[in-house]
Amino acid sequence: MSRRQQVVYLAAAWCLSYPDEELIGRVPLMRAALGEFPGAVADFAAVLELLESTPPMEVQAHYVREFDLGKRHALHLSYWTDGDTRRRGEVLGNFKKAYRQSDILVDTHGELPDYLPMVLEYAAVVELAAGRELLTRFRASLEMLRFGLLRDGLPHARVLQAVCATLPGKSPADEQAVMRMAGYGPPTEAVGLDPYDPRLLPVKGA
């Protein structure tokens, strides 16, 4: 089971990352690794097909439009729980703390530490248990992102579905159920106000 989870997390990390030439070249590797497990490739098939069959500049523009411009499909987990509030800094610090506790130096490549592809790759290749704990803690963020991608008809929704399927419990039926499950409201833009409560590549080093 742990091997399957690692493969799912790494494939998901790559499928949700900016599709540069190196990443597009990994599509056959992802297909081969997912193919080891019955049914695993199905949730990734549409994204892998998109990466293989779409001209690089077009697929890159699509990625920027859907994931970098605006926050409808925000890939930073704490955005969904804490928005732009003071509390978010504390939450980001907790991600950094988790990374520091591993025996491998985690290079964030200038990204915030709650960047989903980074968390997924951390779980896949650094510390599976600690990575799954972070994903489980932010299950509601994963589900809200999944619903957003599903609503906008993006194939990446199936990738989120595959990740959520590795975590305890069933996925909520709708976004309202996610909020009820987590016990908080939607993210707000509230910098300076009192908040409501509610690629990573590992490199050896100190």
pLDDT tens for 153-195 read: 999 999 999 999 999 877 766 667 677 666 654 444 443 333 3
Which long-range contacts (C-beta less than 8 Å, at least 24 apart) are formed by 15-18?
15/44, 15/47, 15/48, 15/51, 15/156, 15/159, 16/67, 16/75, 16/116, 16/117, 16/120, 16/156, 16/159, 17/117, 17/199, 18/60, 18/63, 18/64
User: From CA 89, how far away is CA 123, in angstroms rounded?
Assistant: 22
pLDDT band for position 27 (cuts 50, 70, 90):
very high
Tens digits of residue pLDDT in 103-128: 666 666 677 889 999 999 999 999 99
pLDDT band for position 53 (cuts 50, 70, 90):
very high
Q: Which domain holds residue 115?
A: 2-184
User: From CA 199, how far away is CA 202, in angstroms rounded?
Assistant: 9
Percent of the chain past pLDDT 90, that is, above it, reads 55
Furthest C-alpha separation in the chain = 49
Residue 171 lies in a domain: yes
Residue 68 lies in a domain: yes
Cβ atoms of 56 and 24 within 8 Å: the answer is yes
Q: What is the pTM of this model?
A: 0.82
Residue 94 lies in a domain: yes
**Number of domains making up the chain:** 1
Residue 195 lies in a domain: no
Residue 7 lies in a domain: yes
Residue 192 lies in a domain: no
Using DSSP's 3-state secondary structure scheme, residue 23 falls into helix
Q: Bigger pLDDT: 9 or 101? A: 9
Residue 206 lies in a domain: no
Given a cut of 80, is residue 38 above it in pLDDT? yes
Averaged pLDDT of the chain: 83
pLDDT band for position 100 (cuts 50, 70, 90):
confident
Residue 197 lies in a domain: no
What pLDDT score does 188 carry? 44
